[in-house]
Amino acid sequence: MFFSAVALWGKGVTREEVENVEIRGNISIPDYQIENILETRETPNSLSQFLYGINPSLGSPPVYFDSLTVVKDAENITNFYKTKGFFKAKVGYKIFHKKDKYVKILFVIKEGARARIGKVILNGFTNLPKYFKNDIDDEVKFDSTEFFDSEKILAATKNITSILHNNGYLMSSILNPKALIDTNRNIVNLTFTLKLGSRIKVADVYVQNQSSEENYVSKKLILEIADVHKGDWFDESRIQKGEVRLYRTDLFNSSQINIGRVDSVKDEVPVKVVTSLKPRNEVAPQLIANNEDNVFNLGLAVGYSRRNFWGGARKLNLQLSATAQDPLSLVSNLSHIDSLFYGYLDLRTTVSQPLLFGKSIFTKLQLYYTVQNRRSEYFSNIYGSRLSFDFSLPKKVYFSGLTAYMRAERSVYQYKESYIQNLFNSFISNTHPNPAQQATLDSLREVNLANFKSVGSNLYIAIDAVKNATNDFVFPTEGYTLFFHLEDGNNLLGAINSIFSDKFSRPRYIKVIANSTYYPELFSTYRSTLGMRIRVGEIYLIGGNRSDIPLDERLYAGGSNSVRGWRNRELVPVNSSVNLQTTNPHDLEAILLRNFSPGGFSLIEGSVEFRSKLIGNFGGVVFTDWGNSWIDFKYFRWDEIAVAAGVGFRYYTNFFPIRFDLGFKVYDPDYRKSFFKKRIIPETFSFHIGIGEAF
């Protein structure tokens, strides 16, 4: 009897795992939206279950069949369809028990007709001021052909409440919108009822410093930055912007604007600005890790900061930094460190302030001196200044960020002898000179190639506009971004020079770059996403010699944020169509520089990347990149577009991902040698480390 009881008990606890969950009949709503509301999930594979048994953080437990949960899921699907206007929807289910202790669940949906929005009635809105009543009217202007969707109704309610709170009606609220369903006409009539309340003003504004540091920032200045004043109508959005401005000053360890209790008699609300100051003087070392210039940069810096420099919340920063670019190339080729090393040494003085003429315009002035070493290409000395203005844009403006800057710069590029020699040899092999020209070339061999240099002064004026409409900054799964860069090179300097002189030797040009990313809503989980990117750039020459455009202003493809099968700046145009009618060696030197100095003037590139968070904060990607740069778009050819593919590994922090990508040259327009005849590394693969996603 004992053994029989044990056997029966063991048989009773045998549980079936959910092998598959299928949805049929959903025409208007995609699978992933329905799957998000289901409690029933498919059981993970055996490997994931095995890893879970070792450590729960490495895998997932089995999912067992529960008939009550299936019934609840069918009800959830029905209710979800009703929120989308399908009030006649019916949901059934079928359960298939399999012999191997697995079960398959099928949900069958009959959607029925979808209701549209009919009349919209507003109660309690008649006494609102006209200057923002139009904004509220726009929120409830539903098209009669528009389908009912409770999410849109709730979003409109939230937006109306926000408009009211931003215009002094702090105690206002919208009662739950009523939806009257007309089943005969299949429409929904909506009623919004406003509980307005009194219009509230800001009472006294207090400042509280919670830090033990010297109170080197006056209360008056803190209030000026927060931009919250006694007697103003209460504005919730203004409070939020004030907190952002306080944070951007870098004066505070923490800053917060708190709202007190509303005085219903005086219709006022007190406001308190609570701050904790950072040390006024600070010397600190820094680790530099970024992806500037489409390549991973790693270095060290030491900086001195003085906060509230000359008052006005200004900040003075002195920084000395040394950075190696693409350090992986050094590790893998230590025997060629002299030719492979490239990086920069930078000395920079920065003064920044959060306000300009009392307006919220973050202003920054920089003076800098930079020494660069670009592998075996060139050595440069660059010094200059940069004045930038970062504007705080209203909510109704399409773009979310706008920056304007002016930069004056003096640069000296000293080309390396080995680089010029290689280009010279390539030039000769592709030119086929006649005997007279050959004599000229022979004379050029006697020239000291180490004297090849480019020197120039330039003035740049640029505007950057950014739009971010994604649902997450770190791991976007839907939405898009736009970036536009418009730069004037030397046109203003040329106009000023023409007043005093007829000669102006520097190139004048316009530089345009447009970049866009798109994340379609494809997946049922926020742990996977598909991203697409396209970037186009062009430098339009207006006057002067294009070869004198500084190398750092030109367009390059290849690198960790570009076509990842190539290293940084490897995809550049080579133009060997040179007229050899000149006989002067000095002129030939100029021709060599004009046609072989690195960088392009036209660019197009793009990417498609699948990203997935696999386990915890660890993720992986699969990508395809394509693109190249040209001397001019008129030289564009489809067979010159380089194509790369690869895989990558990610670790997602709360602020940014750390990434490791391995790119493979699928198609190399400059080296069409058979794959099987290439050396695997470096002729085929390129490895990249980066901070943040590639796009």
- 145: helix, strand or coil: coil
Strands 281-290 and 315-325: unpaired
Sheet holding 90-97, edge to edge: 17-24, 102-110, 90-97
Q: Is the pLDDT of residue 335 over 90?
A: no
Task: Look at the chain and count its residues.
Answer: 695
281-307: average pLDDT? 85
pLDDT higher than threshold 50 for residue 340: no
Q: Tens digit of pLDDT for each residue in 494-507?
A: 888 888 876 788 88
Residue 553 · residue 629 · CB < 8 Å:
no
* CA-wise closest residue to 164 among 122, 194, 202: 194
Q: Which of 105-119, 305-319, 647-661, 666-680 has the lowest mean pLDDT?
A: 666-680
pLDDT band (50, 70, 90) for residue 10: very low
Percent of the chain at pLDDT > 70 equals 83
What's residue 439's pLDDT? 62
Pairing of strands 528-543, 602-615: antiparallel
**Alpha carbon separation from 478 to 116, 443, 609 (Å, rounded):** 26, 62, 14
pLDDT at 392: 82
Q: What is the mean pLDDT of residues 19-24?
A: 92
Average pLDDT over residues 52-74: 88
> Please, which residues have CB within 8 angstroms of residue 306's CB and are 6 or more apart in sequence?
280, 281, 315, 316
pLDDT value of position 425: 66
Q: In terms of Cα–Cα distance, which of 305, 277, 131 is closest to 209?
A: 277
Q: Is 437 helix (H, G, I), strand (E, B) or coil?
A: helix
CA distance 497 to 495: 5
Per 3-state DSSP, what percentage of the chain is helix, strand, and coil (rounded to 5)?
Answer: 25, 40, 35
Q: Range with the lowest mean pLDDT among 124-138, 261-275, 346-360, 365-379?
A: 124-138
Instruction: Output 219 or 445, whichever has higher pLDDT.
Output: 219
Over residues 162-175, the mean pLDDT reads 89
> How many angstroms separate the CA atoms of 128 and 215, rounded?
44
Predicted confidence at residue 524, as pLDDT, reads: 62
Q: What is the pLDDT of residues 565-605, one digit of tens each?
A: 888 777 878 653 333 333 334 444 444 544 445 678 999 99
CA distance 541 to 605: 21
Burial 553-580 (b: 16+ CB within 10 A, else e): bbbbbbbbbbbbbbbbbbbbbeeeebeb
Taking a C-beta distance cutoff of 8 angstroms, is the pair 323, 295 a contact? no
Sequence-distant (6+) residues with CB within 8 A of 662 are 646, 647, 648, 685, 686, 687, 688
Residue 560's pLDDT band, with cuts at 50, 70 and 90, is confident
Report the pLDDT value the prediction gives residue 6, as an integer from 0 to 100. 34
More confident call, 514 vs 289: 514
| Tokens linked to 390 | 């970062």
| pLDDT value at residue 387 | 97
- Of residues 227, 232, 160, 162, the one with CA closest to residue 194: 160
Average pLDDT of the segment spanning 305-313: 92
> Helix H segments across 388-487?
417-431, 435-445
Instruction: Indicate if the pLDDT at residue 5 is higher than 70.
Output: no
C-alpha distances out from residue 609 to 496, 517, 529, 557, Å: 47, 11, 8, 18
Q: What's the pLDDT band for 673 if we cut at 50, 70, 90? A: low
Q: In one letter, which amino acid is 404?
A: A
* Alpha-carbon span 70 to 106, nearest angstrom: 10
